[in-house]
Structure 1
Amino acid sequence: MPASYTEGRTHTALVYDPETPGTWIAEFPAILEAHSFGRTLEEALAHAKEALELALAYLKETGRPLPPDVRTVQVGIEAYTRGGCQKASAPGV
């Protein structure tokens, strides 16, 4: 794969353990074609890497541009409490 599709780029992966025991899900929000799963976190990440490589090759082969990766932003919310609305935020959010 040409360096222009991979060089200097990072891709954010979401990896989570759903309610189904023994199943980990891995997906790339910016590249919908790249997602996978595994029985362990390590297996899910290994499969996700392969899925990302295949998705990037597909995008290149079909002449589609790479989408920008997801950006992380800080979000605050108004939370309802018995005393009324108060500003609330989670650590790091």
Structure 2
Amino acid sequence: MRHPILVFVASILAITSVMADDKDKSMADEEAVFKSLDRDTDQRLSKTEASGDEMLSDHFSMIDADGDGYLTKREYTAHLKEMKSSGKER
């Protein structure tokens, strides 16, 4: 009876590991997109820089939480998390 439990626990651990790897890859991909759009490397996206991504361009004013005309990494990440939680991923 102990062996099926060990197999079950090992399976759960393997699935959890794969899910963590997917999350890390997703975060790295998001970071790469932000960096590729941030042409002047000031750690924020202007409207002009965001125009390189249709989703960001279309929703810029909504994503720009503080209304300063730039998207910070925090605003960008928050928007992506909101998109994922609502099932509207890229």
Q: TM-score range by the shorter chain?
A: 0.3 to 0.5
Whichever structure has more strand as a proportion of its residues is: 1
Whichever structure has more helix as a proportion of its residues is: 2
